[in-house]
Structure 1
Amino acid sequence: MSLQQKNQFIYTVKDRCKVCYTCVRECPAKAIRIMNGQAEIITERCIACGNCVKVCSREAKMFSFSIDRVKKLINSNDKVAAIIAPSVAGEFIDISDYQTLVGMIRALGFDYVNEVAFGAELVADKFKELLQKDQKQTYISTSCPAIVTYVEKHHPQIIKSLAPIVSPMIATAKVLHEMHGNDLKIVFIGPCIAKKGEAMLGQYKDLVHEVISFIELRRMFAEKKITTENIEPSEFDQPIAGKGSVFPISGGMLQTVDLEEDFLIGEIVVAEGRQDIIEVLKEFEEGYLEAKLFDLLCCNGCINGPGMSSRHQFFLKRKNISNFAKRQFDRLDQKEWVKNKERFSGLKLDRYFIADDQRYPSDFSEEQINKVKEKLGIKGQDDELNCTACGYDTCHEHAVAILKGIAETEMCLPYTIDKLHKYISDLDVSNKKLASTQAALKQSEKLASMGQLAAGIAHEVNNPLGIVIMYAHLLLDEMEPDSPFYKDLKLIVDQADRCKKIVGGLLNFARKSKVNIEEVKIRSLIKNSLKAVVMPPNIDLKIELNTLKQDIACDHDQMVQVFSNLSKNAVDAMPEGGELLIKVEDDKNSPEGIVFTIKDTGTGISPENMERMFEPFFTTKEDGKGTGLGLPIIYGIVKMHKGNIKVESNTNPDKGPMGTSFFVSLPGVTEEINAN
């Protein structure tokens, strides 16, 4: 089934749609829903005004073409007439002589080329008669099919106010059938997409057979290579129009029959464009607006219809139509024109309307609407920005549209920006965690490699070193203190003992000790850790227990090694004296966790050394004072407890107190440690 058979004259090219919501904003019927990030036409609500086609810069909204069916009509044995909308002068501004244009249209194969402007004059006369006949009734003009459909679908309560008069297109078709018989095939050519739907109405069966836009007409010219140079100029076929050529201009119908919009009397209201017609019909339905006639056009005059390919300035097109109408009127055979007007004055031009209520239920509760607003981050009236970025005039309308199922929360720009900020923030946290994990993995791999190397070296060195140490001590015991060799031998013993410590450290570093988890008293752990630390008199020891927890799940001996080594390092960092702070507090990131802080007031660690703190054999102590294995061993013990260790240091007194702080975080949950 074709799009036209389904009455779907406008469709979406999904690959082109970038979901900018411009079409949603510009659709007077709100006949566009956003589903899964795509703007879809709601066919049953669509009035085929073509606003969405005009405003879509991506050409994602298109209307169905009828060129092939028109060609089929032309190639048939039937006579075919082309009836041309008076806005043609606004389309073909580049063709100064209308006779040239008529010749081009005739060259396509049409037997007759007629003006719709003559039908417009008949319609205008009927409107004048109607207004004079019934002084109390209010009428809405019915020349614009988009307006008629809009009332039938979205304002069915005022359908009785639609003037029961056909459009100029139908009036012209009736005239031609009267002249040439019912076998005549008629093709309307104009700027309007809604005409395609109007021609298919049952009450107009076999009056207008096809409708094409000016865009389609230009394409047909291009296909047949018809230009202004290779055709013979021609005149419109009878009946020729008079003032009806100004019909497509705003208020053109009134000028055709010498009526005008008098603001003092207020009997006639002229409105055009999406926003104005919505407001006029709404105010009229609600009883706020009174007039005898509402002359309405969905576009800003037919010269701005979606079927126009010309993108010339509005007033240039308007001027061109006025000049065209003037030239036509100056050339007009007044006698012939009057004769034709009299001949067709009795033509039946009445019509009827059928309500097709497409209004959504409006009985959503405030609670339902407020729930949707809360999802959009709107907690009060101050949060309602009404920025219209979603395509709706207010946040309230957008919330209602979501309840109707034709909009999505993602259409709200502030909501989407907030959501994006949250995603970026979460991603940043994830990236930092990933970077931390990668750094830890890199450190673990480095430690593992160094551990294997250290184990090999220590194993090979330990046995011969033991013999050297044993015999060195024996010789030292036998040597007299006043011997000239005593000092040299004492140096050998001291350095051999130092080598023993280094080898012992290497073995401890390489050994994968098993973690024996038990419940350990926090106070006892701190006390036992400090027993191994010689505290000089110029060091002020301060202990803070800022937790209600009494116990921690850990390996007592290994954690004593951790805290005693960190405390020794802190003391060594303060040769001139200072304060050693040991603080215990709850871990903010883990309900069961504990954070131990060992802080000194020494000179701090330089930034270039901070990155190497946990490297094996790296030390900031003087030569002979450290092996560079203490912190790597501590790192390994903490990681085996599934904890974390980090360090902060300041060497610049201008930035705050100098010193170094080590933070050891332990999960404190036995099951978590054992499971790993």
Structure 2
Amino acid sequence: MDNRSKNKLVYTVKDRCKVCYTCVRECPAKAIRIVNGQAEIIENRCIACGNCVKVCSRQAKMYSFAIDRVKKLVQGPHKVAAIIAPSIAAEFIDIPDYQVLVGMIRTLGFEYVNEVAFGAELVANQYKKLLHKDQKHPYISTSCPAIVSYVEKHHPQVVQSLAPIVSPMIAIAKVLQKMHGEDLKIVFIGPCIAKKGEADLQQFKGLVHEVISFVELRRMFDEKKFDYDQIVPSEFDPPLAGKGSVFPISGGMLQTVDLEEDFLSGEVVVAEGRQDITEVLKEFEEGYLEAKLFDLLCCNGCLNGPGMSNHNQFFYKRKNISNFAKRQFDRLEQKKWEKSIEKYSKLDLERYFIADDQRYAEDFSLEDIQKVKKKLGINCQEDELNCTACGYDTCHEHAIAILKGIAETEMCLPYTIDKLHEYIKELDVSNSKLASTQAALKQSEKLASMGQLAAGIAHEVNNPLGVVIMYAHLLLDEVEPDSPYYKDLKLIVDQADRCKKIVGGLLNFARKSKVNIGEVNIRKLIKNSMKAFVMPPEIDLKIEINTNESALACDHDQMVQVFSNLIKNAVDAMPNGGELAVIVDEDKHNPNEVVFTIKDTGTGISAENMERMFEPFFTTKEDGKGTGLGLPIIYGIVKMHKGNIKVESNNNPEKGPTGTSFFVSLPKNTED
């Protein structure tokens, strides 16, 4: 069993992650799971392709740096060689003279600076031999360690198709140790994160000691603060490369050994990038695709690797690679190169692979998947938008990922938007209830303070008023009806009696009397409320009881006071006659409440007066006809029953029929 690297190659900086799901979408291995709103890398599934590093604009996905270890290595007792990937020409476009670049690398402490491209040429020749030797066996190229890891972990059934040939990095490392001895320390410098994992494999132990990216190399350059005028230009150390410099370009291996991607024969398939390689391997595994060689590269060639500092200008970088390869080939001494190829082609460039099946068991029933889809609001195939916002190509894949435990429902954008709308509606309801409660509390506090004032006034006035009433009645009884004093005394008696009613109203308003709850028949309650006065003949009365509830838990006497006052007010609002409706309904929004509606077709109430309806002593009736305490008392009684009262009115004929409706909502049971 091969020992894998135990170091985390790629990791998440949680403070930077905004959970945009871009990394989930771009990961070919689906090695990123969302847990509690955080994107976490599943190490066992990760192939270190670095796609997540490239696409994360927040730099929340990072890879492990080896700068400090490389510094210690070059300061140590052993000679150190830097082996440079040919894609360096696409990275250091700002340093057009590659010999200056080689000189800078030497200045960092490297004894040798070699081209990985020579190893690529050795490897390409091995592929040529392999394909001629076994023309029926299909092979997958193994120069890209991310591709190798992807096949081992996610397509283990085709591991036997991986070409048993080392990568150019390992090939050149073997060449250099053959040249300079096994004590030589080697550092690979390139655009690839997966190379860090490849170098750690047990079968390559002692060949490549450290791996750094071009980004890390630039950082080392920055720390040195080079004066370019002081750099001594230098050539790469032998063995020098020829066509191998085009290896990082898609199809570069084929060009290196003069093979062609023949579209007519279909013997060679070249694919690059996340979407193409996953589709090619899937079709190959399922038997739909046949070819002698599948030349696969994970990063659109090695020009866009995660270790590059610039992921733009792809074609410009490709052109720079081509120009660099041409310059290298033009300066090449052909015979010396052929001699080197012949000498080192005898090295053992074989390797082995181990299936490391990290696929999830696909044992979810259709019923389980449908349950998840239903939770996401997907009830039929038309509801499957496949918008990919969640990071998965289809809603079906997302549902399976949820069942696997690597995704969450909140990743679905339409689902989240629907939930957000629901939360907004719930919040609106909560805000309305809060506003209503605050208004009720404010009104209660206002009524309480006014009630204390009213009680004080009533008690002070009540005693002297009683004396006035008593003597006024005595005087009225002593005079004859035809006496000139009779009308005056009668007026005094009437007004004194009115004052008595006002004082009584004040005391009722101020008194926090207890509610005597009992079972009250609804029809009987309405009937008793109508007995408080005589209904004028010009009023058309209509009573509707639309509830199955026959009884209500309330204080009978207090509720009679409420409804008789409301009905009397409605009658007073229709001096010329009209329609009066008393309706009892079930509350549509709260099944535990009953709503009493008192509706008239009277003159209506103006908007400015609506705001003051429940203020004590406020009345719209003529002087001497209203105390302004009826509605405040009604409000208090309803609140003591844990109910609500609201009013709707229109006094403008242009806006529709005039009239007023009072709605009294009472709980069927007032117990807590």
User: Is the TM-score greater than 0.5?
Assistant: yes
Q: Bigger shift: 507-516 or 212-221?
A: 507-516
Alignment of 1:252-651 (within 5 A): 252-591=252-591, 593-651=593-651
Q: Does 1:21 align with 2:26?
A: no
Checking the alignment, whether the CA contact within 8 Å between 2:31 and 2:45 is kept in structure 1 is yes
Instruction: Return the offset for 1:47.
Output: 0.6
Match of 1:217 in 2: 217
Match of 1:240 in 2: 240
CA 1:5–1:294 in 2, change beyond 3 Å: closer, same or farther?
closer
- Give the TM-score normalised by structure 1: 0.97
Q: Bigger shift: 524-533 or 560-569?
A: 524-533
CA 1:342–1:589 in 2, change beyond 3 Å: closer, same or farther?
closer
- Give the residue type in structure 1 aligned to 2:361: P
1:58-100 Cα distance to aligned partner (Å, 9 max, x none): 0000000011111111001111100000000000001111101
Q: Does 1:116 align with 2:116?
A: yes
Instruction: Return the offset for 1:585.
Output: 2.2
CA 1:312–1:556 in 2, change beyond 3 Å: closer, same or farther?
closer
Checking the alignment, whether the CA contact within 8 Å between 1:221 and 1:227 is kept in structure 2 is no
Whole-angstrom distance in 2 between the partners of 1:219 and 1:519:
85
Whole-angstrom distance in 2 between the partners of 1:548 and 1:266:
80
Instruction: Return the offset for 1:484.
Output: 3.9
Whole-angstrom distance in 1 between the partners of 2:38 and 2:227:
40
Match of 2:74 in 1: 74
Checking the alignment, whether the CA contact within 8 Å between 2:650 and 2:660 is kept in structure 1 is yes
Checking the alignment, whether the CA contact within 8 Å between 1:642 and 1:666 is kept in structure 2 is yes
Whole-angstrom distance in 2 between the partners of 1:557 and 1:67:
89
Whole-angstrom distance in 2 between the partners of 1:592 and 1:37:
39
RMSD after superposition: 1.4
Checking the alignment, whether the CA contact within 8 Å between 2:83 and 2:116 is kept in structure 1 is yes
Whole-angstrom distance in 2 between the partners of 1:667 and 1:258:
90
Whole-angstrom distance in 2 between the partners of 1:14 and 1:337:
50
Match of 1:96 in 2: 96
Instruction: Return the offset for 1:581.
Output: 1.0
Whole-angstrom distance in 1 between the partners of 2:590 and 2:235:
90
Match of 1:148 in 2: 148
- Give the residue type in structure 2 aligned to 1:236: F
Instruction: Return the offset for 1:164.
Output: 0.9
Match of 1:668 in 2: 668
Whole-angstrom distance in 1 between the partners of 2:496 and 2:379:
75
Q: Bigger shift: 371-380 or 273-282?
A: 371-380
- Give the residue type in structure 2 aligned to 1:97: D
Instruction: Return the offset for 1:363.
Output: 1.7
- Give the residue type in structure 1 aligned to 2:182: N
- Give the residue type in structure 2 aligned to 1:470: M
- Give the residue type in structure 1 aligned to 2:125: D
- Give the residue type in structure 2 aligned to 1:403: L
- Give the residue type in structure 2 aligned to 1:434: L
Instruction: Give the gaps of 5 or more residues in structure 1.
Output: none
Whole-angstrom distance in 2 between the partners of 1:666 and 1:200:
76
1:629-655 Cα distance to aligned partner (Å, 9 max, x none): 001111111122222211111123343
1:428-467 Cα distance to aligned partner (Å, 9 max, x none): 1111111111111111111111111111101000111111
Whole-angstrom distance in 2 between the partners of 1:205 and 1:518:
90
Checking the alignment, whether the CA contact within 8 Å between 1:79 and 1:185 is kept in structure 2 is yes
3-state SS, counterpart of residue 229 of structure 1 = helix
CA 1:443–1:67 in 2, change beyond 3 Å: closer, same or farther?
same
1:189-240 Cα distance to aligned partner (Å, 9 max, x none): 0000000011111111111111100000001111111243321100111111
Checking the alignment, whether the CA contact within 8 Å between 1:593 and 1:666 is kept in structure 2 is yes
1:488-530 Cα distance to aligned partner (Å, 9 max, x none): 3333222222211111111111122222222222222222211
3-state SS, counterpart of residue 241 of structure 1 = coil
Instruction: Give the gaps of 5 or more residues in structure 2.
Output: none
Instruction: Return the offset for 1:149.
Output: 0.8
- Give the residue type in structure 1 aligned to 2:531: K
Checking the alignment, whether the CA contact within 8 Å between 1:32 and 1:41 is kept in structure 2 is yes
Whole-angstrom distance in 2 between the partners of 1:182 and 1:592:
87
Instruction: Return the offset for 1:483.
Output: 4.0
- Give the residue type in structure 2 aligned to 1:655: K
Whole-angstrom distance in 2 between the partners of 1:592 and 1:183:
87
Checking the alignment, whether the CA contact within 8 Å between 1:398 and 1:407 is kept in structure 2 is yes
Whole-angstrom distance in 2 between the partners of 1:159 and 1:464:
109
- Give the residue type in structure 1 aligned to 2:336: E
Q: How many residues align?
A: 669
Whole-angstrom distance in 1 between the partners of 2:245 and 2:635:
91
Whole-angstrom distance in 2 between the partners of 1:545 and 1:201:
85
- Give the residue type in structure 1 aligned to 2:22: T
Instruction: Return the offset for 1:293.
Output: 0.6
Checking the alignment, whether the CA contact within 8 Å between 1:273 and 1:298 is kept in structure 2 is yes
Whole-angstrom distance in 1 between the partners of 2:652 and 2:16:
59
- Give the residue type in structure 2 aligned to 1:262: D
1:299-332 Cα distance to aligned partner (Å, 9 max, x none): 1010110000124400110001111111111111
Whole-angstrom distance in 2 between the partners of 1:120 and 1:586:
84
1:324-352 Cα distance to aligned partner (Å, 9 max, x none): 11111111122221221222122221111
Whole-angstrom distance in 2 between the partners of 1:651 and 1:230:
94
Q: Bigger shift: 555-564 or 252-261?
A: 555-564
3-state SS, counterpart of residue 186 of structure 1 = strand
Checking the alignment, whether the CA contact within 8 Å between 2:541 and 2:579 is kept in structure 1 is yes
Whole-angstrom distance in 2 between the partners of 1:667 and 1:587:
10
Whole-angstrom distance in 2 between the partners of 1:5 and 1:344:
29
Match of 2:41 in 1: 41
